[in-house]
Structure 1
Amino acid sequence: MNIKAEKSGTNFKVAGYYPSWEPEKTDRIQYDNLTHINYSFAIPTVNGSLLPLNNPDTAEKIIKQAHKEGVKVLLVVGGWSYQDIPLEATFMEATDTHEKVTKLGNAIIDMAKQYGFDGVDIDWEHPRMEGSSRKQYEELMLYLKGEVDKNQLLLTAAVLSGVTAEGEAIPDTFAQTDTVLGILDWVHVMAYDGGDGIRHSSYEFAVNSAKYWIDTRKMPKEKVVLGVPFYARPSWSAYSDILSRDSDGYNKDVFRNGEVEDYYNGIPTIREKTKWALEHAGGIMIWELSQDTKEDDKSLLRAIGDTVKKQL
């Protein structure tokens, strides 16, 4: 059984980000356990253009196979940094005039159409309340909305958790204005990186993050997709690397490497987050698919898929 809306009678989404810099790990993509793949990243430039897509052959390969299996693929624009330089300033300069907004918006749509993507995910990290950031972000998103509608494409965005690991509000989340939230098909809530150690992505942090967007920002729960990490902090090790050092790591949330405690989400926590999302949100998002293990019985994505199939 595949997790597909047309087969399951639900719109529950399982959306996995796939990094363009890992062309050799596409065998870790379990199409039967996904509804959407987010190909990351298209990189903006300060003049309102996009750099050529990284590993376009990989993108085309993923899109071809995904479409065969009823999975949609989105083009992700942005990310935290490019060549170790944060992209926030690039986004600001790329959208500081109406002409640049139009140029960047058209470049994004053109790239999506060129490769056959089914939509666009904007990962501007992060629009802010201060200065003109909020206004420029909103202008870009409104322009994109008009263009995606013309081309029958999806428009989504990666968003902050909304609260800290301690449950405190993050003011810059309001830079995602009600206007922007209203035009998006859904948001991908980055309910991870709350900090190092246990603050990284606990169950409580995940629930509070999703509830912020649903309860405080009044988004329909179907439009809130809860993000889960496939990596540990503080080491940033992939889940698959954790298992290579601890064969029982799939059943835990912490790996002790000498004096360092590395926190991540093992299968039990991933299952509990998925169960919560099935009842209270619109889906599960993964950063990122190449970090999963190829061992089927220890795979985090397989655990998500099995949980969804049992509950739908």
Structure 2
Amino acid sequence: MKTDDDKKPVAAASFRVVGYLREYNVVDGRAIQFDFSKITHLNIAFINPDANGAFSTLSGLKELVTAAHAKNVKVLASIGGGLAPEYYTKLIADKSSRAKLVGSIASLTTQYNLDGIDVDLEGHFVDANYEAFVVELQALLKPKGKLLTTAIATVYATQYTDKALAQFNFINIMSYDKTGPWKPEKPGQHSPYSMAVDDLDYWGGARGIAKEKLSLGLPFYGYGFGNGVPEDMAFADIIKKYPGAETKDEVTVTAGGTIYYNGLPTIKSKTTLALQKAGGVMVWQLLQDDAGTNSLLNTIDAEVKAAKK
């Protein structure tokens, strides 16, 4: 049941800023050079097992965790991904292989001093065995004081059971990719403000999840449709190639194609929305941001700090 408390904004002091960095940037050293001062949680994407449920050693992860912890940032390993290995379906289907996988994942948190696990299984991976998988994973992580979070897409909403969702400490809503290169016949904005509103209304309203547990996903990239534009492009590259693009949400080139993304005003508006209707924001992904005065992360940080005053 909703109460008057559900209408109140989440305290800015506890507001999450969750950012993703790619696993290969841990290996090449770019991740450890990142300024962690404007995020609260860092997810490393994606750390996946082999077909037997075993994980290989990830060079540089221990050092990254130490650096992040020095800035009071929690670090989670994100498993799965939009292109998750197909064998996940087999690993979580069989009871014995699922138990082995869950044990291996839990061991990761000890091996690298991680603060938790982020489950990013999407589409057909969210099947009849998904609930048992996250229930068993939480059963091992909770006694260790570790977090269990997830990245979800509203397009797959009916596949997530209430019991499965209840296992997560917080939920990152992937409020983007409404369209993209896989839908060339549907050009347009892939992450409109209206999508953010609808997503938060669905998960916080229809599904009854406390707003404190929701993080609104924000894209630091754009998609191109038509002639003369790349299929995808980092925000930093967009504003470098097209001066003035930082204040807009789309750029149309002379060849006729258009790039759609979220500029500074939209990211600011979405952060304000999240401060009212969620417990945080989530960013995919941090290294796509501009490092200068047009930084999207700086815009988020400024809005959160203003809310604390």
TM-score category of the 2 structures, normalised to the smaller one: 0.7 to 0.9
Please, what TM-score do these two structures have when normalized by structure 2? 0.87
C-alpha separation between the residues in 2 aligned to 1:266 and 1:249? 7
C-alpha separation between the residues in 1 aligned to 2:205 and 2:121? 23
Q: How many residues align?
A: 283
Q: Verify the 8 A CA contact 2:189 2:261 in the aligned structure 1.
A: no
SS in 2 for 1:142: helix
2:266 paired residue among 269, 279, 282: 269
Instruction: State the one-letter code of the partner of 2:132.
Output: E
C-alpha separation between the residues in 1 aligned to 2:50 and 2:160? 22
C-alpha separation between the residues in 2 aligned to 1:215 and 1:124? 23
C-alpha separation between the residues in 2 aligned to 1:91 and 1:259? 41
1:78 paired residue among 77, 80, 84: 80
Structure 2 residue runs without a partner (length 5+): 1-10, 181-186, 225-230
C-alpha separation between the residues in 1 aligned to 2:192 and 2:144? 39
Residue matched to 1:154: 147
Instruction: State the one-letter code of the partner of 2:14.
Output: N
SS in 1 for 2:149: strand
Q: Verify the 8 A CA contact 1:42 1:53 in the aligned structure 2.
A: no
Q: Verify the 8 A CA contact 1:203 1:273 in the aligned structure 2.
A: yes
Q: Verify the 8 A CA contact 1:28 1:294 in the aligned structure 2.
A: no
1:188 aligns with 2:172: yes
1:110 aligns with 2:107: yes
C-alpha separation between the residues in 2 aligned to 1:37 and 1:20? 12
C-alpha separation between the residues in 2 aligned to 1:29 and 1:193? 25
Please, what TM-score do these two structures have when normalized by structure 1? 0.86
Structure 1 residue runs without a partner (length 5+): 1-7, 163-169
Q: 1:275 to 1:37 in 2, by over 3 A?
A: same
1:25 aligns with 2:30: yes
Identical pairs, percent? 31
1:232 aligns with 2:222: yes
Residue matched to 2:3: none
Residue matched to 1:5: none
C-alpha separation between the residues in 2 aligned to 1:233 and 1:265? 10
Shift in Å, 1:11: 2.2
Q: 1:41 to 1:268 in 2, by over 3 A?
A: same
Q: Kindly report structure 1 stretches of 4+ aligned residues shifted beyond 4 Å.
A: none
C-alpha separation between the residues in 1 aligned to 2:189 and 2:247? 19
State the Cα RMSD in Å: 1.7
Q: Verify the 8 A CA contact 2:78 2:117 in the aligned structure 1.
A: yes
C-alpha separation between the residues in 2 aligned to 1:290 and 1:243? 14
